[in-house]
Amino acid sequence: MDRRRFLGSVAAAAAGAGAASLAACRGRPPVLPPGELSGTSFELGHRLRDGDLATPDETREVPVAIVGAGIGGLAAGWKLANSGFGDFLLVELESEAGGNSRAGRNAVGSYPLGAHYLPLPTREATAVRELLAELGVLQGDPRALRPTYDERYLCATPQERLYRDGRWQEGILPQAGVDAAERAQYRRFFEQMAVFRRRRDAAGRRAFALPMALSSRDPELLALDGISMRDWLHAQRFDSPQLHWYVDYACRDDYGSNSATVSAWAGIHYFACRDGEADNADSDTVLTAPEGNAWLASGMLRSIEARVGERLLSGALAFRAALNEDRPQRGRVTIDLWLPAERRTLRLLAEQLIWAAPLFLVPHVFGGEPALGAAARTYSYAPWLVANLTLSRFPDDRHGAPMAWDNVLYGSSGLGYVVASHQQLRVRPGATVLTWYRAFAEMAPRQGRVLLRDTPRAVWADEILAELERPHANIRQVTTRLDVFRNAHAMARPVPGLIGGAARQLFAADGERLRFAHADVSGFSLFEEAHFRGVLAAERTLGRLGIRFNSSLS
């Protein structure tokens, strides 16, 4: 997508030499800052895989069960509650809701553990705009072409920069040392993306819409799902190394996979789907907060509780689900939950089930539905690592563009870092948190998961600090804490064949008593996709129950 120019600057604080640098001068390894190694529930996930869970000792009836309280599950509950229906239970494996949009907190402030921004929503993302209006962030008519947004959530400038060849530059697309031929390829690439952005089919549908379910079904466009983004670039005679790096970075950032493993449909969708505008911001501005997207998750949860009361059961592992076609409970869905804090099993009998947990769990839970299990096994998932570095002050900076919200290191295994306190810098400089990301796109996902499982925090901490020493020579001296968060199955990978494949379509269908509401149903993990799937599942559920509602999707 086109990258904006930035205004303003933030002065980096100077830092004196400390004990760590002295130790390094004497040949001893520097002392690492303290911190924790945490992540999604590895142990409970392995227990689900091993299948050694007890028989239920209690049965509870509920009209609607929602399994998974990430963005999809919260969106489903939010839509049910907004429609006046409160007879549902929201079940979550982790100790709190939010999924990939959870946050951490310390004395310095809040910081993301996953997703950290939301681009200005497109006009098709009507449910997202409705939510933003309810939260007071979108001001005025949510269906306006160019709404006004709360300035506190519009990312402050400068928004992004790139560290390359010992200097920082504004924007992420490489500029220094790029010759005229490569710049011509830059222009041609963005011109082609603009053509895709404007393209409509005979039915008036956008070629690449967000939510993706509203995209054109033109066979010529769907054929792009059969090849990789890298192959498409070569077929279009794009051979600029810097352009290839840029597109590869975009794929790693949004999909956790490189351009050689992301389908061309998904790769082009990244650049062509967004056309959101604002009355008080440039079109490529993003909405963000210190806690990342956790404010959106907590906002939906508060909305649910305000309307229908507490509906969240956290710390509960759904390990068995059955549609009961040939059982006495015919007409209801059985969901068995392991409650580790109570060391017991609870059985739910539901008229309707919204499965808003990741699809890789389906083969382990829906044992009586082999078609669903087989479809889920065609999915591939990218592991992720997120580290939050608490700093006593900003680190020394190399030459070039000033500190930005998003800071990318060219040629790095990591994706760079965002400054969690960026929105507050003008009023509270000083201590801060840097949130650093890594997608293991250079290796097979299984290999990445083994690495996540077996690598100690100290090894991660040393590698992260070594990487950040390139642009920030004194990063070790100013880092007071370094916490590492692991996510073994962070997001579905939109590999060639997934978007247009039968497996994904199976999960997108509306079942009689079961429907799926995770971003996986779209084939990739974006807030807008998860929210759309949750709201769509809720509206289909209300329809099945015969309850009237006003749609948020039209």
Question: What is the pLDDT, as a whole number, of residue 51?
Answer: 66
Q: What is the pLDDT of residues 183-241, one digit of tens each?
A: 999 999 999 999 999 999 999 999 999 999 999 999 999 999 999 999 999 999 999 99
> Is residue 85 predicted with pLDDT exceeding 90?
yes
Q: What is the pLDDT of residues 453-505, one digit of tens each?
A: 999 999 999 999 999 999 999 999 999 999 999 999 999 999 999 999 999 99
> Is residue 400 predicted with pLDDT exceeding 50?
yes
Are the CB atoms for 78 and 304 separated by under 8 Å? yes
Q: What is the pLDDT of residues 247-294, one digit of tens each?
A: 999 999 999 999 999 999 999 999 999 999 999 999 999 999 999 999
Are the CB atoms for 312 and 94 separated by under 8 Å? no
Q: What is the pLDDT of residues 115-173, one digit of tens each?
A: 999 999 999 999 999 999 999 999 999 999 999 999 999 999 999 999 999 999 999 99
| pLDDT bracket for residue 417 (50, 70, 90) | very high
Over residues 394-409, mean pLDDT? 94
3-state secondary structure of 328: coil
3-state secondary structure of 453: helix
| First-to-final CA distance of the chain | 26
Residue 435 has which token pair? Answer: 């949130």
Q: Which helix (H) or strand (E) holds 164?
A: strand 160-164
**b/e per residue 488-499 (b: at least 16 CB within 10 A):** bbbbbbbbbbbb
How far is the C-alpha of 534 from the C-alpha of 383, rounded, in Å?
Answer: 23
Over residues 31-42, mean pLDDT? 88
How far is the C-alpha of 228 from the C-alpha of 260, rounded, in Å?
Answer: 6
| pLDDT bracket for residue 423 (50, 70, 90) | confident
Question: What is the pLDDT, as a whole number, of residue 26?
Answer: 43
Residue 133 has which token pair? Answer: 């209006």
Count other C-beta atoms under 10 Å from residue 169's C-beta: 17
**Lowest-confidence region among 44-53, 107-116, 326-335, 381-390:** 44-53
Q: 381 - beta bridge partners?
A: 492
> Is residue 382 predicted with pLDDT exceeding 60?
yes
| pLDDT bracket for residue 326 (50, 70, 90) | low
List of domains in the chain: 42-102+290-378+495-545 (3.50.50.60)
Match 């967000």 to its residue by tokens: 210
How far is the C-alpha of 442 from the C-alpha of 366, rounded, in Å?
Answer: 32
| pLDDT bracket for residue 45 (50, 70, 90) | low
Q: 362 - beta bridge partners?
A: none
Q: How many helices (H) and strands (E) does the chain have?
A: 17, 22
Q: Is the dihedral of CA 181, 183, 186, 187 positive or negative?
A: negative
Q: Which helix (H) or strand (E) holds 290?
A: none
Question: What is the pLDDT, as a whole number, of residue 329?
Answer: 61
Over residues 286-305, mean pLDDT? 97
Chain-wide mean pLDDT for the chain?
A: 91
How far is the C-alpha of 30 from the C-alpha of 521, rounded, in Å?
Answer: 46
* 372, amino acid identity: L
Over residues 317-323, mean pLDDT? 95
Question: What is the pLDDT, as a whole number, of residue 328?
Answer: 57
Question: What is the pLDDT, as a whole number, of residue 134?
Answer: 98
> Is residue 12 predicted with pLDDT exceeding 50?
no
| pLDDT bracket for residue 429 (50, 70, 90) | low
Q: What is the pLDDT of residues 332-370, one digit of tens each?
A: 999 999 999 999 999 999 999 999 999 999 999 999 999
Q: Is 142 exposed, middle or buried (0-12, 13-18, 19+ CB in 10 A)?
A: buried
